[in-house]
Amino acid sequence: MPVTDAQITDARRFGKVAVLMGGQSAERDVSLNSGGAVLRALQALGVDAHGVDAGHDVLRVLEAGGYERVFIMLHGRGGEDGVIQGALDTLGLPYTGSGVLGSALSMDKLRTKRLWQAHGLPTPAFAELSAGADLAARVHGVGLPMILKPVHEGSSFGMTKVQDVSQLQAAWQAACAFDDTVLAEHWIDGAEYTMGVVGRQALPLIRIETPRTFYDFKAKYDADDTQYHCPCGLDAATEQTLQAMALQAFDVLGCTGWGRVDFMCDADGRPWLLEVNTVPGMTDHSLLPKAARQAGMDFNTLAWRILETSFARRDAHHRPGGGASPSPLYKVQC
């Protein structure tokens, strides 16, 4: 059964809540900003919420603090890869968002794409690059231009656009600074979109525009010229079809609770799935809160709705996506 909204109306039902933030990943600073915003929102709504900077002793801190549930705002490794989720399962502490399986799969861009391919979902051509490989030979089927990405990293760290094979080595080394395994993915020219999920609600699409080469770390967090269009400019039928595709992509990975699905539409209007973020940014300037506002949900309400997902029943034997093939309607004109 898919998870459903718990619709909690009394803040006391949540008990003592730990908002986990910080951590040790490359996205620590982003996590602290997101976690701080969530903490203020929950406290404003009367939730007994406390910020916890997740160090190596985080499990002892949670046990000693008498917490009854956890709002996970850890970005990157240790927070989105299933590690903290497994630890919390062992402690018997309910938490927000995806469980071990959905978190681990979504954090692994390579296995994400393989699963999407197996379910007939559209994702750009790709190849795995590892140490000692003949890079030019490995990426032959990917086609130029392409983008190289660390397989287990977020916030666009270590990503480089490659337009000529002579640039491969430097791009691979940049990605290797963050991960031993690197993904080479065909570059899609076109419009970039993102769709937030809360419970089973698909939020309005956001179309992202940046004058930079791609939507990199600076475009996400520093630039003043990145534009976010919500409404995205698509007709209602097309947007609904893309939302259905994004939800299936979310389900196929075993994701639950909340998250964000990123994809692009090429010059011919075909959608191409890129990745799923199981713990998206949660500042006032982040993408998911922007989409939630368009759906009539302010930031505080969004934080409450996400915390409600910690009540959702997790079924370890749930078969996400039901194994169904995607609808031909996914070939849409964006």
**How far is 205 from 239, CA to CA, in rounded Å?**
7
Among residues 154, 281, 308, 330, the one annotated as catalytic is 281
Q: Do the bridges between strand 126-129 and strand 182-186 make them parallel or antiparallel, or are there none, so unpaired?
A: antiparallel
User: Is residue 27 annotated as a catalytic residue, yes or no?
Assistant: yes
Among residues 153, 185, 251, 275, the one annotated as catalytic is 275
User: Is residue 155 annotated as a catalytic residue, yes or no?
Assistant: yes
Among residues 80, 81, 251, 262, the one annotated as catalytic is 262
Among residues 25, 34, 155, 286, the one annotated as catalytic is 155
Give 3-state DSSP helix, strand, coil % of the chain, rounded to 5.
35, 20, 45
DSSP lists the bridge partners of residue 272 as: 264
**How far is 145 from 288, CA to CA, in rounded Å?**
29
User: Is residue 67 annotated as a catalytic residue, yes or no?
Assistant: no
Among residues 23, 25, 27, 215, the one annotated as catalytic is 27
Sign of the CA dihedral 283, 13, 60, 316?
Answer: negative
User: Is residue 260 annotated as a catalytic residue, yes or no?
Assistant: yes
- Long-range CB contact pairs, 50-53, < 8 A, 24+: 50/16, 50/17, 50/18, 50/19, 51/18, 51/19, 51/21, 52/18, 52/19, 52/20, 52/21, 53/21, 53/22, 53/23
User: Is residue 300 annotated as a catalytic residue, yes or no?
Assistant: no
**How far is 264 from 325, CA to CA, in rounded Å?**
20
User: Is residue 200 annotated as a catalytic residue, yes or no?
Assistant: no
Among residues 128, 179, 200, 221, the one annotated as catalytic is 221
Q: Within a 10 A sphere around the Cβ of 303, how many other Cβ atoms? A: 29
155: left (phi over 0), alpha (psi -120 to 50) or beta: left
Among residues 28, 77, 207, 260, the one annotated as catalytic is 260
Among residues 25, 277, 286, 310, the one annotated as catalytic is 277
Residues assigned a catalytic role? 27, 155, 221, 260, 262, 275, 277, 281
